[in-house]
């Protein structure tokens, strides 16, 4: 089995990467930085390509390369996990700035859609292909200060619903909200201000009261779901309800 994974350098993506490697799945991982700890432990089963996913031109070139088609070709199972995500700009509309909006939409939406399209195109011979978008509760509940993030995650959910109607042979897919996880993203939420993010108190309390999941454990559960026979039965799902 082989998997493409974005955002493996830290946080939830590092947990997902480790769980895939432990399941003996070879991983081609895309982040700006590498994950030295996993590389040391798993050797060449983990291939890392340093890339800024906001650079959609470079990403498109990668998906047209010999590397991409060689990694995904063949009849075996193939997986794509669109995990990389960015929360910024965290601010009310009017204070978000074009550059930050553009970067967030490129990373959270454009990159995931480009990779999904190229994944399906390159895996025509695969007997079992699985596509996972890492969504968020913010796709389904609106938060003040997070309008760009909320819109980007809702886009992933609706992308998954529409792809399902394409009825692609041997493709299972789901857009899954992982719950609240103890990562750099949560740290950046806690260090914002009530002016930019009015619900900050709730997230500070979740951390203080020990309610954050570990990224390793959450990654393990997400991969367990991804590899299960029921994956894709619900096109949008929440880990807290699985
Ligand atoms: N943490 C939570 O509570 C929570 C809750 C719901 C949903 N999520 C979702 O879960 C996913 C992972 O979140 P996390 O909390 O693990 O975030 P994180 O700690 O901020 O890590 C983000 C990952 O995405 C990669 N990434 C970010 N921007 C990138 C870019 N421009 N190009 C390439 N890679 C990029 C980062 O790698 P580099 O910096 O090395 O590029 C890193 O590996 C995200 O989609 C997030 O929206 C998280």
pLDDT at 242 over 90: no
Over residues 151-176, the mean pLDDT reads 98
pLDDT in tens, 8-24: 999 999 999 999 999 99
Residue with tokens 């798993």: 42
pLDDT tens-digit series, residues 202-212: 999 999 999 99
Pocket of ligand 1 (CB under 6 A): 7-13, 31-33, 52-54, 83-86, 107, 134, 136, 178, 180-181, 183-186
Task: Supply the range of the domain harboring residue 128.
Answer: 2-241
- What is the CATH classification number for the domain harbouring 177? 3.40.50.720
* Predicted TM-score (pTM) of this structure: 0.98
Distance CA 182, CA 74 (A): 37
Find the mean pLDDT for residues 171-176.
98
Number of continuous H segments (helices) and E segments (strands) in the chain: 10, 7
Residues 155, 148 contacting (CB under 8 angstroms): no
Q: What is the Å distance from ligand 1's center to 6 Cα?
A: 9
Give yes or no for a contact between 207 and 192, defined as CB atoms under 8 angstroms apart: no
pLDDT for position 84: 98
Give how many domains the chain has, as a whole number. Answer: 1
**Nearest of 47, 149, 59 to residue 112 by alpha carbon:** 59
Largest Cα span, the chain:
52
- The pLDDT of 165-183, averaged and rounded, is 98
3-state secondary structure of 73: coil
Instruction: Quote the mean pLDDT of the chain.
Output: 97
């Amino acid at each position: 089995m082989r998997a493409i994974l974005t955002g493996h350098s830290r946080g939830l993506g590092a947990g997902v990467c480790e769980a895939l490697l432990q399941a003996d799945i070879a991983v081609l991982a895309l982040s700006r930085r590498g994950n030295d700890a996993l590389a040391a432990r798993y050797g060449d089963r983990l291939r890392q390509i340093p890339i800024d996913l906001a650079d959609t031109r470079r990403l498109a070139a990668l998906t047209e390369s010999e590397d991409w088609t060689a990694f995904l070709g063949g009849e075996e199972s193939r997986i794509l996990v669109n995990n990389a995500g960015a929360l910024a700009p965290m601010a009310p509309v009017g204070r978000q700035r074009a550059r930050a909006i553009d970067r967030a939409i490129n990373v959270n939406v454009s990159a995931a859609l480009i990779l999904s399209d190229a994944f399906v195109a390159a895996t025509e011979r695969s007997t079992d292909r699985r596509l996972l978008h890492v969504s968020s509760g913010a796709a389904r509940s609106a938060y003040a200060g997070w309008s760009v993030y909320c819109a980007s995650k809702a886009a992933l959910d609706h992308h998954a619903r529409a792809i399902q109607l394409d009825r692609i042979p041997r493709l299972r897919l789901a857009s899954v909200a992982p719950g609240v996880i103890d990562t750099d993203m949560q740290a950046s939420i806690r260090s914002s201000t009530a002016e930019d993010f009015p619900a900050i108190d709730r997230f500070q309390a979740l951390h203080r009261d020990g309610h954050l999941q570990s990224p390793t454990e959450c990654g393990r559960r997400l991969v367990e779901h991804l590899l299960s026979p029921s994956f894709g039965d619900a096109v949008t799902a929440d880990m807290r309800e699985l």
